[in-house]
Structure 1
């Protein structure tokens, strides 16, 4: 691999100590796992790779991803757990038990004040078709691809109010230089 990364103030050259480090997952807390799982599996085509329950601490973790069609996913739960933690680009939905029963309960989306967390992002093969799919599934838009200063970028909300950026890779060649 000859690409060494862009250089900017603050960037440090990685050492051998970090060889093999990869981002495995990002976690979002969800109010109701049934509703959140329906959204991510139906609207974004994700698969639940593994569910882990922590009864004493009263929470469950759902790891979702897009395994390759021909990928051999282990049937054994222990092996599949280890396999899951070796994947790239997963979404972990964390459910703290009982939140689904609280009518006025909501997690902070990170975009309201005070701002913090911003969004997750999915790339799609056809942005126009994705927008039509979102419309057909009554997904709430924050921004469509033809709106605002950044064209060809869509933002939608999931069922917990988290923002999701949606892009088509070949349309992203020149934003922001």
Structure 2
């Protein structure tokens, strides 16, 4: 029998038919300075900006980024690219509330300080050691390096707004969580 789901209390025995086609599309982070955050995610993580949507009446902008596969080509047409963006997996939406970049004492809660809530986003990398060297050469701030703490082979870095980003190499995680 093919794997369907791990079984834990609260997990539905099978997905309701009405959820066929549902897909987690994106996660949203609020950012103080879009230029700084766009530089970070595009330069350090290689993400591409798929769409920017402005909402002047509500004074905010949305930036949709993704790490595209080699050869992956989003549509040129803006309407088609917007539809394509909202049909993908693993999109990062950065939300900028206009004017926040001008407030020197303003910052967003990272979710890891008390009271805790949101925790982190995660990037899988093909080579954790190479990724660490890349982060070091780009002066990325660490929460935890792979050799630190009880969870080895997992790193956490911070983005410009202090949000945590977990960095994992899937090949090193086969025994994660096993006694």
Which consecutive residues of structure 2, in runs of 5 or more, have no partner in the other structure?
Answer: none
Moved more, 32-41 or 71-80: 71-80
Matching of residue 146 in structure 1 with residue 147 in structure 2: yes
- Secondary structure of 1:106's aligned partner: coil
TM-score, normalised by the number of residues in structure 1: 0.98
Matching of residue 101 in structure 1 with residue 69 in structure 2: no
- Aligned match of 1:116: 117
- Aligned match of 2:69: 68
- Once the two structures are superposed, the pairs formed by residues 1-177 of structure 1 within 5 Å of their partners are 2-12=2-12, 13-177=14-178
Which consecutive residues of structure 1, in runs of 5 or more, have no partner in the other structure?
Answer: none
Q: How many residues are matched? A: 177
Deviation at 1:73, TM superposition (A): 1.2
- Secondary structure of 2:129's aligned partner: helix
- Secondary structure of 1:28's aligned partner: strand
Moved more, 65-74 or 125-134: 65-74
In 2, the alpha carbon distance for the partners of 1:129 and 1:60 equals: 34
TM-score, normalised by the number of residues in structure 2: 0.96
Deviation at 1:43, TM superposition (A): 0.5
In 2, the alpha carbon distance for the partners of 1:25 and 1:35 equals: 20
In 2, the alpha carbon distance for the partners of 1:29 and 1:160 equals: 8
Q: Which runs of 4+ in 1 moved over 6 A?
A: none
In 1, the alpha carbon distance for the partners of 2:29 and 2:171 equals: 28
Deviation at 1:91, TM superposition (A): 0.3
Deviation at 1:66, TM superposition (A): 1.5
Q: What do residues 10-52 of structure 1 show as CA deviations (whole Å, max 9, x unaligned)?
A: 1002111111111100000000000000000010010001110
In 2, the alpha carbon distance for the partners of 1:92 and 1:19 equals: 24
